[in-house]
Structure 1
Amino acid sequence: MSFDPGLYAWVQEALEPLGAVSMRKMMGGATLYLDGTIFAIMVDGELWFKSDEEANAFWDGEGCTERFTVTFRDGTVDGMNYRRAPTDVYDDAEAMQRYAAVAAEAGRRRPVKKRKSKKP
C-alpha cells in the first residue's frame, strides 16, 4: 500500500469549503478526517468513503457497491464499511464535496469507543 501526497493535497483543496482535512498515516495508506471526523481512507492512490447502515443505500444507489477489504498474512480477509469513491471525485470538487459530506455524516454517527483507563 502507498500514500499519495498529490491526492491528499487535492482532497484538502476540494473540501476546503466544508472544513479542515487532516490525515493519519496507517499501514502505507492514510485515514482522512474532516474537522476531526473520519470520512475516508486513502490506499494505493484511491479513496474509500466511510459508510454505515444508514448511508449504505445512498452508496448503492450511486453505484459504489465495492467495499474495502484487507487480506492478512494468514489469508483471512476482513471487510470494512468503506465504499470505493466514484471516479468523478478525482477531478470535480463539487462531487468530492457531495460524497465527502455523506461520508462525514456516517463518521459522525459512528459510536465513539471509550478508551480503557490505565489502572495505577
Structure 2
Amino acid sequence: MAKTDGFKDFVLDQLADLRDLTCRAMFGGHGLRYRDTFFGIIHKGRLYFKVSKATVTLYQDQGMKPFKPNAKQTLTSYYEVPLDVIEDAEQLTDWAKQAGQR
C-alpha cells in the first residue's frame, strides 16, 4: 500500500499546476477530478486518463492499454498514461487538461 500511496503522491505533485485538482479514494484506488470533471484514475500504481476519439490514439500509439480493474471488466474510456509522460510534469499537466475536457 505504501508504494501505491507514494505513486499517488508523486502524480499529485506532478499535477500541482492544476489548482482545482481533487483526489479521492474510491474502489481500491483514487479518482482525479479537475474542477467539475472526473478525468483520471490511480489504481495499483498506475495512472489512467479519460480518452476521447480525438485523444485515444495518443495512448494507443505508445502501446498503452485501457483500464482493466478486474479480469471481467475493461473500461475503454480510460487508458494508462505512459511513464515518460508521468515523469514530465508539464506534459502530464497538458494530458490531464485534455482528459478533463468535455
Tell me the equivalent position of 2:97: 101
Identity %: 28
Q: 1:86 aligns with which of 82, 87, 93?
A: 82
Moved more, 85-94 or 42-51: 85-94
- Report what 1:118 is aligned to: none
Larger Rg: 1
Alignment of 1:23-62 (within 5 A): 23-61=23-61
Q: Which runs of 5+ in 1 are unaligned?
A: 110-120
Partner of 2:69: 70
Q: Secondary structure in 2 aligned to 1:4?
A: helix
TM-score, with length taken from structure 2: 0.78
Q: Is the 8 A contact 1:32 1:41 kept in 2?
A: yes
Cα offset, 1:16, TM superposition: 2.3
RMSD: 2.4
Q: After superposition, give the CA deviation of every residue in 1:48-90 in whole Å (9 maximum; x if it has no partner).
A: 11112333234334x2541112336xxxx22211111101133
Query: Which structure has the highest strand share of the two?
Result: 2
Q: Which segments of 5 or more consecutive residues in structure 2 lack a partner in the other structure?
A: none
1:117 — aligned with what? none
